[in-house]
A and B are shown apart, each in its own frame.
Chain A
Amino acid sequence: QRFRFCGDLDCPDWVLAEISTLAKISSVKLKLICAQVLRDLLGEAIEYDKILKLTSDAKLESGDVKATIAVLGFILSSAAKHNVDSESLSSELQQLGLPKEHASVLCRSYEEKQSPLQDRLRACSLRLSQLGSVRWRVDYTLSSSELQEVNEPVVHLTFNVRDREGEKMTAVPVTLSADKFWVLLAGEEAAGTSVGWIC
């Protein structure tokens, strides 16, 4: 059977297996655990001790606690990835065997944080290199060892590029004559209009 939150594919076996573990936790505690998992997905620190305290009533073993966090993380991020609305998510989770209360609690938490989650996933997508900033300076050359009167403007640009691994910023300095600079600018304008044509 195909599920939208799994990207129109079958639900993975391990998710099916852990749905029954989720049902053991009360729906109130599930909401708080969801909040913690969402914090982790949004890049903030997860408070594992709080989760341990919340799951202690259901008498889950440590393996089960980790499985619960993993399955909640999968459901929430996969639903955000495939842009599933919270009602469809709720009905699909109930089809998998999650009790109605638990499904509605999970989906309400999902709905609140759907946009920030999608923004965060978009920011984490693969990027090869990224332009950080551009600095510029225009000089005017008066004279040189080759020619006494030069009188030409010169543009200095420094592109700060973040490399592939996203760790270091490299500075790429470029020096252009005025004519070359106009060519560069014309190319960029053309690219800009092409982008405008799509959007």
Chain B
Amino acid sequence: MLLVLSAEHRAHLGCLPRAGDAAVGELGRLALEQLRRGAAPRACEAAARKLNIGIDTIQHGVEGLVYLLTESSKLMISEIDFQDSIHVLGFSDELNKSLLQLYLDNRKEIRSILGELAPRLPSYHSLEWRLDVQLASRSLRQQIKPAVTMKLHLNQNEDQTAQVLQTDPATLLHLIQQLEQALGEMKMNHCRRIVRNMK
């Protein structure tokens, strides 16, 4: 599967051959840092001064590399496809080889970073519970009414929320039975077939 590079993208990457080999290594490093931690304008300024190139060119070059690497890692393209895709840029063989090396070395890490970007539902953190018995109220004395109070702690993107729930024991048993039925579905033939095919 080939990557199609837009004209703007090609223009951004066009600064690479002019910059020289050392610069390419530096830009590659900046691109990876940007993927790991986000944009760092000061690092780009420092690189611009060191390599004696305009800061805009550096930023465009870094962004072009970031896009190239993320698209290639996202589609998990093979070496040959990567080489063919960057061939259109008309770079020297050495530059092509260093770009390929950059891609292969960091592909796995980039994929794991991309994996974390998917939206997430709140997930279970912990559950506190308490069993109470209501013995009397303003309206009625001498009752016996059990209730289970639960505080469900959830995690969503590093935010912790808590939900307080209260139920009587009969509903709780019904809830447990429903959840056990849901778990039991995993053992049915249909699920087993799918799980086996996914492995």
**A129, B160: Cα distance in complex, Å:** 19
A179-197 contacts to B, CB under 8 A, are 187, 190-191, 194, 197
Stretch at the interface among B24-32, B96-104, B129-137, B170-178: B129-137
A125 to B135, CA, bound (A): 20
Decide: A194 near B162, CB < 8 A? Known: A126-B129, A126-B149. no
Establish whether residues A164 and B162, one from each chain, have CB atoms under 8 Å apart when the complex forms. Answer: yes
A128, CB-defined interface residue at 8 Å: yes
Please state if A194 and B149 are interface contacts (CB–CB under 8 Å).
no
Residue of B nearest to A190 (CB): B138
In-complex Cβ contact of A191 among B129, B136, B162 (8 A): B136
B60 at the interface (CB under 8 A from A): no
Q: How large is the interface on A (under 10, 10 to 19, 20 to 34, 35 or more residues)?
A: 10 to 19
B window 125-184: CB within 8 A of A: 128-130, 135-136, 138, 141, 149-151, 162, 164
Nearest residue (CB) in A for B127 is: A126
Write out the residue numbers on chain A whose beta carbons fall within 8 Å of the beta carbon of B130: 125-126
Please, how many angstroms separate the alpha-carbon atoms of A57 and B141 in the complex?
A: 63
**Interface of chain A, helix or strand or loop or mixed?**
helix
The distance from the CB of B108 to the nearest CB of chain A, in whole angstroms, is 25
Give per-residue flags for A71-82: 1 if the beta carbon is below 8 A from chain B beta carbons, else 0.
000000000000
Shortest CB distance B124–A (Å): 17
Q: Given A125-B130, A126-B129, do A164 and B136 touch, yes or no (CB 8 Å)? A: no
Q: Which of A126-165 contact B (CB under 8 A)?
A: 126, 128, 164-165
Q: Name the B residues within 8 Å of A45 (CB-CB).
A: none
Residues on B with beta carbons closer than 8 Å to the beta carbon of A198: 135
In this complex, what residue of B is CB-closest to A125?
B130
Q: Is the CB of B164 within 8 A of A128?
A: yes
Q: How far is the CA of A128 from the CA of B163 in the complex (A)?
A: 11
Structural contact, A194 and B164, CB atoms closer than 8 A? no
A187-B129 Cα distance, complex, nearest whole Å: 29
A126 to B162, CA, bound (A): 12
Compute how far the CA of A116 lies from the CA of B195 in the bound complex, rounded to whole angstroms. Answer: 49
Q: State which of B135, B136, B141, B151 has its C-beta within 8 Å of the C-beta of A126.
A: B151
Q: Collect the chain B residues with CB atoms within 8 Å of residue A191's CB.
A: 136, 138
In the assembled complex, the Cα of A165 lies from the Cα of B162 at a distance in Å of 8
- Whole-angstrom distance between the Cβ of A102 and the nearest chain B Cβ: 31
Contact A126 B128 (CB under 8 A): yes
9 pairs across A/B with beta carbons < 8 Å? A125-B130, A126-B128, A126-B130, A126-B149, A126-B151, A164-B151, A164-B162, A165-B162, A191-B136
List the interface of chain A (C-beta within 8 A of B). Answer: 125-126, 128, 164-165, 187, 190-191, 194, 197-198
Please list the 3 inter-chain residue pairs (A to B) with the smallest Cβ-Cβ separation, ordered nearest first. Answer: A194-B136, A126-B130, A126-B128
A126-B149, A164-B162, A194-B136 known; 8 other A-B pairs, CB under 8 Å?
A125-B130, A126-B129, A126-B151, A128-B149, A164-B151, A191-B136, A194-B135, A198-B135
